[in-house]
Each structure stands twice: as C-alpha cells, then as structure tokens.
Amino acid sequence: MEIKGGYHGKLLRVNLTDRRTSIEDIPEETIIKYIGGRGLGVKYLFDETPKNCDPLGEDNKLFFATGALNGIDAPTTSRYTVVTKAPLSGTITSSSSGGHFGYALKATGFDMIAIEGKSSSPVYLFVNNRKAEIRDASEIWGKDAHHTTDILSNECDEKAGIACIGTAGEKQVLFASIMNERNHAAGRSGLGAVVGSKKLKAVIVQGNTKTPVANKKAVKEAIREWRKFIGEAPLTKDILKEYGTPVLVNVVNNIGAYPTKNFQNGVFLNYPSTSPQTFKELHFVKRSPCYGCPIGCARITQTVKAKGKGPEYETIWAFGGLCMVDALEKIIHANYNCNKYGLDTITTGSTIACAMELSEKGFFDKKTNELMREAIGKQLRFGDGDAVVTLSEKIGKAQGIGKILGSGSKRLAEKYGHPELSMSVKGLELPAYDPRGLKGMAISYATCNRGGCHLRGYLAGAEAIATPFEIDRFTAQGKPGLVKLFQDNTAVIDSLGACIFTQFAINPDHYAMLWSAVTGIQTPGKEMIKKGERIWNLERLFNNREGFTRKDDTLPGRILNEPFKFGHSKGTTVRIDEMLDEYYMLRKWDYKGVVTKDKIEELGLMKEAETL
C-alpha cells in the first residue's frame, strides 16, 4: 500500500538541551498502522521514552501531532493532539484541542513536532513552513497565556497558530494546560506542566503547504456526506448551536447524575441559576466556532467585569454544582482565570471541591487553615463563589494555598489522611457524569488509559440524551462492549484530527470513507476501528509497563458504596468488578488487565512488546 495523500510524511524534532532541530521521515507503515494525531504520538512516545521516566524530567517527550484530515477543509477537522506522559497520573496521556492551531501546524509541512530534552533558559519555538527556530523567551516568561499570545502575535502571520503556557505551566502545576489561540486548551493531565518543565514557553506554527489528497472527487463526495449528516442530527444541527455544551446542565441534573458537593449528591437544587437558558440570557455574546466547524458549540461571553470565552458544560459543573456555587458570574470568572493562567478546569474545580470537604470536616492542619484564611479571609466551605474565583487564581499563580492545591485532589486528599475524598481514577479527576446514574460511564471511567475521563468512551450521549442511540442508563448489560467500541472509535477520531462531536452524527464508515479518499488506501469502517483498537492497546501496554493493572481500573469508594438519597438515580451504586471481567474478556486481556500475547500478535504489536 502506498499513501497518496493526507500526510507530508515529515516530523520536526526539536532538542531543547542542545538547541538543535532536525527533520525526519515518518515511515509509511507507521502512518498506516496508527493513522496520525493521537495514534502517531502514542507510537513515538512508547518507542522513545524509557520505563518509569519522570514526567517532568528530561527523558519525557512531547509530541504535537496532526491527522490526515487537517487542512482538507472537512467540517470539524481542525484539531491537533499533544501526547506525553502525564505528571498528574503517571499514565500515558493525550489531549485534543480545537481552534485553528491544528490547521496551521499542518500547513508548515510537518505532520508532527517532537519536543525533547530541557532548555537551560526560557525559549519558544517558531516554525515557518519547514524552517524552525528556537528563540529566547526570557521577556515573556512569567506572562499569562493571554499576554503571551498577544505579544507573540506581533511576530507572526495573522493565520499562525500560537500554543503557549501560562504561569501555571511555568510553575509546573500538575494540571496545567497548553492554551492555543488564547482560550482553547489541550487541557487534562498536566501537559502544560511538562512544557514548563522544559522551559518551553510557546510554539508558533505558520505556513502555506497544502495537505495533498489522493482523489479530489471522492474527497468532495465524502465531505458532502459529512456535512449532510452533521446538518441533520438534532444535537449537531440545532441544540449545540443554540446553547453550546451548557445544554447538558439541565439534562444531566434532571436524571440525577449531576455530581454535586464533591459527588455526595446527584442533583444540584439551585441549578436553574446556572442553566443554559440563564447562561444565554445573561452572558452570551456570540458563537465562536473552531476553524471550519459548522456546529459552533463554543461561546464568547461577558460579565460586568470581563469578557472571554466559555465556560463549557464541564466547567459550569466543576465550579458550580460540584462546589455548590450557584452564582454564574463567579463560575465564569473562575473559568476566565483558568484560561488566563492555563489550567484544566475540571481538575481545578474538583480539587477545590475536595478542599471544601476536607475543610468542612476539619481535616486541614493549623498551617493549611492559616494559608486558606490568608487567601480568602475565612474558612473554606461549599457554596463560596468568591473563594472559587480567588483559589483558581492562586492555583494559577502557585501562590500560598494555591501551591498546595496545585498538586491535584488525589495528592491533596492523601496529604491530609483522607484519600477517599478525591473523586479521581488513576489520579485524574472525574468529569460531570456520575456513574451511579450512568452505568456505561462507570466502566468507561475505570478503564480509561489517561484516568477519569469522559472523552475516551462517551457513552453518556446514549445513556443521557439518546444520541446517537438510546440505551438504559441503569443496566450494566452490554455496556463493556459498547464502551470498547466507543473507545476504539474515539482513538480513530482523535488520530484523524476530527472533533468527537461528529460521533453524534456519523459512524465509522464515514470516517473510513473520507480517510480512504484522502489517502488512496481503501479501508472499510471495521478496519478503521481495528486501527483504533491498536492505538488503545498500545496505550494500555505503556500503562502496563508503568505498573498499571486491574488494581487501578476502579472508581472512588463513594461511588461504589454510597447510594444517592434522592433524585432520579436514588439508591444506586456501581458494581464495577462484573463489568470489568467482561470488558477484559472482550479486550482479550488477562484477569489482571494486562494485554495478552495473543492480542499483541493479533494487532501487530510484537516489536513494541519487546520493551516490556
């Protein structure tokens, strides 16, 4: 098989230790097996990082990767992925971000940038077509992400993509994000901390290199199909355009699966003040689509004091219901802080909620209480919107109590002797769908390779809003198989450079049709899913190599043992072991959750497995 389009076949390698760059060919065989984007980054990270490397050490690497669909003007295909070993969890991790950085990166003539080593002083990377420079960043080190972007925008083309870290990444807050175009985030697991550990402030990409395609006529036909189905599916046609992701506040709260008060409840009684209708009426300015996106779920917003982008559903929940805060303006300001300083909003909100419970139950020591009072002037309690705003800023600057909270909820709860109060899996905080009311999300969270994440097997769509199909949210029957399918399919989507929201409208055959037209390699939908399965299993092999097994594929004890006392999910808990057994059987892993020799051979991973 020969690739005739979709890729430039080039990798830019940047060694920050000796300030050198080089260009390498990416083997066609590797591209065909791993698609691009997330898959390509996972393959290179697995091959090039040693076992047990320090995520914030010189041996860890970062891969900024594009997919085959970046640059062909198909809808929702402007996303890029960053892959690394996570400082928050110690697992392999990747994060996909929108905006137009992915499009600009592809236009440089590179499919991927590998960042390795560690600079002795602050630098940033400037890539113009296939020329790369490592430049001094001492004058912008210490600036937040917004100021950094504004300053660097004067040095590049208006169509350039700028990805940078704020002060959180510089100070290696363990859940710091990489921010591109000011308010788009490669957010979870602490990628920004890895960038900061390398003294890399920003990456600028620009160019005019076109993405080649094998069959222009077939590409146009496949894009027409994508646009047709995206334009007809209710969620992508109307709902996300009208309200954006905040529409889920009402939906998930009404079914009693809206994690509230650090997952103590499943219903937020004061939710109307944070509803999508209230959000739209009081703070909406306009839609802000990613490059080439017909959906346009993101929002420009404003308050009396400020203007910015977001918050999304997860953020409204994390600073709202999870912390029992019903002041929408406070939630928005905390979101603005996270964008400004470069923080993952889910972990920030979840860590503050954990701190609220620790504080109310008297588990903080005298010194910590003093630091908290120094920051907010009083004891920290649930419902304190002012405290949420202040603490998000303190974390972003790693100041005082913010430095303690900057380690995430798992380390925070362990520090004060109550690890059970961290609502996390593998060290990554859970998002806004309580698995006691959504059993598919239970097995999805437990088995996710990067930890507590909804974006790797988003069964909540089917369980909560009957999209792309409807299933019983309380039953465990059939959920492991569906989660496996969604996980493998999402690996394909991320590797193509597309948006996960497309799965609400199109199916694996559509992804395969467009990839086939672009590359010239005819591939059915089942074969694309097999590629996704290979990517998922290689991620699992990475985690197995780092010591992650069945013991880590679990949920917080609160979810396993404490049923809700009211709401539409009242009285339910999660029996994870039964679903886990079935999931491992379907994956063809052993009882401990280790990838078997048979599965390794089936997926052609023998060479990679030699390093285990």
Give the Cβ contact number of residue 131 at 10 Å: 13
DSSP secondary structure string for all residues of 274-317: GSHHHHHHHHEEEE-PPTT-SS---EEEE-SS-EEE---HHHHH
pLDDT at residue 612 tops 80: no
Which of 182, 206, 230 terminates a domain? The answer is 206
Average pLDDT, integer, range 464-483:
92
Residue of 113, 210, 120, 107 whose CA lies nearest to 157: 107
Task: Answer for the pair 7, 32: CB distance below 8 angstroms, yes or no.
Answer: no
Least confident of 178-187, 425-434, 437-446, 602-611: 602-611
Residue 216 lies in a domain: no
Provide the residue range defining the domain that includes 320: 250-428
Q: Specify whether 411 is located in the same domain as 457.
A: no
Q: Are residues 417 and 450 in the same domain?
A: no
pTM of the predicted protein model: 0.97
Query: What pLDDT digit, counting tens, does each position of 111-134 carry?
Result: 999 999 999 999 999 999 999 999
| pLDDT beyond 80 at 405 | yes
Per-residue pLDDT, averaged over 560-582, amounts to: 95
pLDDT at 241: 86
Residue 55 three-state SS: coil
Q: Give residue 470's pLDDT band: very low, low, confident or very high (50, 70, 90).
A: confident
Tokens of 560: 């396993």
CB atoms within 10 A of CB 281: 9
Query: Per the domain annotation, does 245 fall within a domain?
Result: no
- Residue 320's pLDDT is 98
- Among 366, 399, 428, give the residue marking a domain's end: 428
Rounded Cα–Cα distance for residues 306 and 588 (Å): 52
Task: Please check whether residue 423 is in contact with residue 259, taking contact to mean a CB–CB distance below 8 angstroms.
Answer: yes
Q: How much is the average pLDDT of 419-444?
A: 97
pLDDT of residue 103: 96
CATH classification of the domain holding 182: 3.60.9.10
What's the confidence (pLDDT) of residue 610? Answer: 83
Give the model's confidence band at 1: pLDDT under 50 very low, under 70 low, under 90 confident, else very high: confident
Confidence band (pLDDT; 50, 70, 90) for 604? very high
The pLDDT assigned to 608 comes to 86
Structure tokens at 324: 């029992």
For helices 525-545 and 508-519, the axis angle rounded to 10 degrees is 100
Output 1 or 283, whichever has higher pLDDT.
283
Cα(391)–Cα(491) distance, integer angstroms: 34
**Residue 77 has what pLDDT?**
94
pLDDT of amino acid 116: 98
Residue 200 forms beta bridges with which residues?
Answer: 123
Q: With beta carbons less than 8 A apart as the criterion, state whether 257 and 433 touch.
A: yes
Contacts of 577 (CB under 8 A, 6+ apart): none
Mean pLDDT confidence for 524-543:
97
Phi, psi of 527 (to 5 degrees): -70, -35
How far is the CA of 408 from the CAs of 265, 344, 428, in angstroms? 21, 10, 8
Residue 458 CA from chain centroid, whole number: 12
CA pair distance 41, 114, nearest whole angstrom: 9
Are residues 312 and 452 both part of a single domain?
A: no
Name the nearest CA neighbour of 192 among 398, 390, 455: 398
pLDDT of 191 reads: 98
**H-helix or E-strand spanning residue 125:** strand 123-128
- Going by pLDDT thresholds of 50, 70 and 90, the confidence category of residue 469 is confident
Q: What is the mean pLDDT of residues 536-561?
A: 97
Residue 317 covered by a domain: yes
Same domain, 183 and 119: yes
Q: Distance between CA 184 and CA 21 in Å, rounded?
A: 27
Q: Rounded to 10 degrees, what is the CA torsion of 240, 307, 430, 426?
A: 120
User: Could you give the number of structural domains in the chain?
Assistant: 3
Per the model's pLDDT, the better-predicted residue between 238 and 251 turns out to be: 251
Compute the mean pLDDT over every residue in the chain, rounded to the nearest whole number.
96
C-beta separation of 433 from 448 below 8 A: no
Q: Determine the 3-state secondary structure of 82 from DSSP.
A: strand
Q: Give the mean pLDDT of 65-89.
A: 96
Say whether both 339 and 419 belong to one domain.
yes
Q: What is the per-residue burial (b if ≥16 Cβ within 10 Å, else e) of 344-358?
A: bbbbbbbbbbbbbbb
Residue 390 inside a domain? The answer is yes
Rama region for 9: left / alpha / beta (φ>0; ψ in -120 to 50; rest): left
Tell me the mean pLDDT in the region 69-92. Answer: 96
Whether residue 497 has pLDDT greater than 90? yes
Residue for token pair 């199916």: 507
Average pLDDT over residues 304-312: 93
Q: What share of the chain is helix, strand, coil (3-state, %, to 5)?
A: 45, 15, 40
**How far is the first Cα of the chain from the last one, in angstroms, to the nearest whole number?**
30
Structure tokens that stand for 164 in this block:
């940078």
What integer is the mean pLDDT of 291-311?
Answer: 91
Backbone angles phi, psi at 505, to 5 degrees: -130, -30
Does residue 45 carry a pLDDT above 90? yes
Res 585 pLDDT > 90? yes
Tell me whether residue 534 is exposed, middle or buried, using C-beta atoms within 10 angstroms of its C-beta: 0 to 12, 13 to 18, 19 or more.
buried
Residue 195 lies in a domain: yes
| Residue 515: φ, ψ to 5° | -60, -40
**Which band of pLDDT confidence, cut at 50, 70 and 90, is reported for residue 538?**
very high
User: So what's the pLDDT on residue 467?
Assistant: 83
Strands (E) across 181-269 are located at 184-186, 200-206
Same domain, 420 and 453: no
- The answer as to whether 275 is a domain residue is yes
**Containing H/E element for 40?**
helix 37-48
CB 60 within 8 Å of CB 194 = yes
Answer yes or no: do 402 and 459 share one domain.
no
Is residue 408 located within the same domain as residue 442? Answer: no
Nearest-angstrom CA–CA distance, 294 and 127: 29
Structure tokens at 130: 């296939």
On whether both 506 and 366 belong to a single domain, the answer is no
Please report how many Cα atoms fall inside a 13 Å half-sphere around the Cα of residue 5, on the Cβ side. Answer: 22
Q: Quote the CA–CA distance of 2 and 25 in Å, as a whole number.
A: 15
Distance (Å, whole) CA 458 – CA 580: 17
pLDDT band at 421 (very low <50, low <70, confident <90, very high): very high
Domain edge (last residue) among 428, 453, 473: 428
Placement of tokens 């419902």 in the chain: 383
Would you call the peptide bond into 431 cis, given omega within 30 degrees of 0 as the criterion? no
> What proportion of the chain, given as a percentage, has pLDDT over 70?
100
**223-235 pLDDT tens trace:** 999 999 999 988 8
Residue 180 confidence (pLDDT):
96
The reply to whether 276 and 345 lie within a common domain is yes
Q: Which of 140-154, 538-552, 598-612 has the lowest mean pLDDT?
A: 598-612
Please indicate, yes or no, whether residues 279 and 346 belong to a single structural domain of this protein: yes
CA distance 336 to 119: 30
Q: Say whether both 554 and 420 belong to one domain.
A: no
Residue 232 domain-assigned (yes or no):
no
CATH code (residue 564): 1.10.599.10
**Does pLDDT of 291 surpass 90?**
no
346's tokens = 């889910």
Q: Is residue 558 part of a domain?
A: yes
